[in-house]
Amino acid sequence: MATTNDLKNGTVLKIDGQLWTVVEFQHVKPGKGGAFVRTKLKNVVSGKTVDKTFNAGLKVETANVDKRDMQYLYKDGTDYVFMDTSTYDQLHVPQTTVGDASNFLLENQSVLVATHDGSPLYVEMPPSVVLEITYTEPGLQGDRSTGGTKPATLETGHEIQVPLFIEAGTKVKVDTRDSGYLGRVND
């Protein structure tokens, strides 16, 4: 148990049997009346965000969430298999829990896996990853770095938009939050 005065970004709370992460918080002390804490909470499982206000000093239940660096090994049916790099224990994570992170996962890649009481909650990718373009339409003479974009397929099978001058076989840096193209990577 903790009080609302102990809240920080990233703290995981247990409210009505569900886990919520504190995305942002603000302590408010109006001139009249008691102080309170205004928060924005994100549901750990569904990703839904809500605004919630707590009275200052109110006791809230915190959840013990274990975040570990794990290495992605392979896909087994609909599960993704990760290995704890310190204990070599393997963890099966369902496709629904991996979510959009599967668009950027390559074998042997390190990611952060959060668990609560042994069950996986979510997979946290680094902010950007380097992946190879496996297919894109060839660029035409006159295509320059400014201007339009075209679809390109990454080695994971995910499709992103890239500038017209990018060709198949090029390694690119991709933003894992919005699938945005961040630039070419020279080997």
pTM comes to 0.69
Q: How far is CA 3 from the centre of its chain?
A: 27
Asked whether 19 and 63 are in contact (CB, 8 A), the reply is yes
Q: E strand or H helix at 95, and its extent?
A: helix 95-98
Report the candidate in 2, 7, 12 with the shortest Cα–Cα distance to residue 116.
Answer: 12
Contact status, residue 84 vs residue 91, Cβ threshold 8 Å: yes
End-to-end CA distance of the chain: 50
Domains recognised in the chain with CATH numbers = 2-60 (2.30.30.30), 66-124 (2.40.50.140), 128-184 (2.40.50.140)
Highest mean pLDDT of the ranges 45-54, 81-90, 96-105, 132-141? 81-90
**Segment 20-46, tens digit of pLDDT:** 888 889 988 888 888 898 999 988 877
Q: Is 100 helix (H, G, I), strand (E, B) or coil?
A: helix
Tens digits of per-residue pLDDT, 40-93?
998 887 778 899 998 888 888 888 888 889 999 998 888 999 999 888 889 998
Q: Where do we find the tokens 């002390």?
A: 29
In whole angstroms, what separates CA 154 from the centre of its chain? 18
